[in-house]
């Protein structure tokens, strides 16, 4: 799928969302720490994008 995104949008614009999604977990945990959110954040796992209706 990343190759399709790069092929469709080109190397500059295609890599931007890929990089953003790669940094998402770090940003989420930084925000929970910054705002002192009382949650059970778990640093394992990744975020996956999908196409279609969320269930």
pLDDT tens digits for the chain (55 residues)? 788 889 999 999 988 988 888 888 888 889 999 999 988 877 776 666 666 776 6
Structure tokens at 53: 């209706």
H helix runs in the chain, sequence order: 2-34
pLDDT score of 8:
93
C-alpha dihedral (10, 11, 12, 13), degrees to nearest 10: 50
pLDDT score of 43:
72
pLDDT score of 9:
92
pLDDT score of 54:
67
Count of beta carbons in the 10 Å neighbourhood of residue 29? 15
């Amino acid at each position: 799928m990343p190759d399709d995104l790069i092929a469709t949008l080109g190397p500059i614009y295609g890599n931007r969302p890929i990089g953003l999604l790669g940094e998402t977990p770090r940003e989420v945990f930084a925000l929970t720490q910054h705002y002192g959110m009382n949650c059970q954040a778990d640093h394992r796992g990744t975020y996956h994008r999908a196409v279609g209706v969320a269930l």
